[in-house]
Amino acid sequence: MHDDKISRQTIADPRSRYGNAKASTRHFITQRLTGVSNIVFLLLLLFVVVRLAGEDRAEMVATIGSAWIGLPLALLLGIVTIHMRNGMRDILEDYFRGSAYGLYMTLNTLFCLFIAVAGIGAILKLVFWG
Amino acid sequence: MAMSIVHRATGIANYAGTALLVLWLVAAAWGEGPLDSINALYGSWFGQLVLFGYTWSLTHHMLGGIRHYVWDFILGMEAGQREMLSWANLAASTALTLAIWTLFVWIK
């Protein structure tokens, strides 16, 4: 799909089936759903950061280590990384095609996966092992 | 029109900014030493400047996202309304960021 030469005519013609018909709808819905979740995440993040900015480790463990705060934070951070990957896909689709798109998309996925694993791992460590 | 590119730019900034959040969480999980280093870095004038920008980027992108939900219901799409929403978005994100920093950082 991304190897095709995309011209103005291709985009304007409904019969050209420009874009990925099934996946694009899913990306649209995913971005809307994860976006709503991110608003909740920002409120929780504001609470956590205001409470813990500059505090020592004992305070971090006391707040994030509480399962009622830590587990939702971990879940929401995971959803944030889905939104990150999806949003970056929108940008990459606009500027790259073919193998370049594939390469950057792979890097995008790896970065978001790394962020998710490191962040959720750190939070779970604080919750379960202090 | 310009706000579309700003939504994209703040999205990219937030994409990178998440790394700052995760770095803080990992440092806290790691130990007292790494956490002290991160706190010193984030507490420096440059760190505070970046975090202030990150706060604005997050609030602006959130409000811009809400604008997209409004548009999903075919509201606010007319000429004039679009521009009004853009300016409201910019004003609200700036006001929110200043309110957050005033309330929780500067007078805390």
Domains of chain A: 8-128 (1.20.1300.10)
Q: Which of B8, B28, B42 sits opposite A60 (nearest CB)?
A: B28
The CATH number given to whatever domain includes residue B14 is: 1.20.1300.10
pLDDT of residue B99: 96
Verify whether the Cβ–Cβ distance A32 to B35 is below 8 Å.
no
Whether the CB of A44 is below 8 Å from some CB of chain B: the reply is no
A97 in Cβ contact with A62 (< 8 Å): no
Question: Which of A113, A115, A124 best tests the B interface by mutation, with the highest count of B CBs <10 A?
Answer: A115
Q: Complex ipTM above 0.85?
A: yes
Q: What domain range is B12 assigned to?
A: 2-106
Which residues are CB-contacts of B67 (< 8 A; sequence separation ≥ 6)? B76, B85, B89
State both tokens at A9: 């005519």
Q: How far apart are CA A37 and CA A80, in angstroms?
A: 8
What is the average pLDDT score of chain A? 90
> Count of domains in chain B?
1
Give the pLDDT of chain A (130 residues) as one tens digit per residue: 445 566 777 778 878 776 677 788 899 999 999 999 999 999 999 999 999 999 999 999 999 999 999 999 999 999 999 999 999 999 998 888 889 999 999 999 999 999 999 999 999 999 999 8
State both tokens at B25: 């969480």
* Residues in chain B within 8 Å Cβ distance of A125: 29
The contact set of B with A (CB < 8 A) is 8, 11-12, 14-15, 18-19, 21-22, 25-26, 28-32, 35-36, 39, 42-43, 58-59, 62, 65-66, 68-69, 72, 100, 104-105, 108
Q: How far is A96 from chain B (nearest CA, A)?
A: 16
pLDDT tens for each residue of B51-103? 999 999 999 999 999 999 999 898 888 888 888 898 999 999 999 999 999 99
* H or E stretch at A40: helix A21-52
Whether the CB of A48 is below 8 Å from some CB of chain B: the reply is no
pLDDT tens for each residue of B10-59? 999 999 999 999 999 999 999 999 999 999 999 999 999 999 999 999 99
pLDDT of residue B4: 83
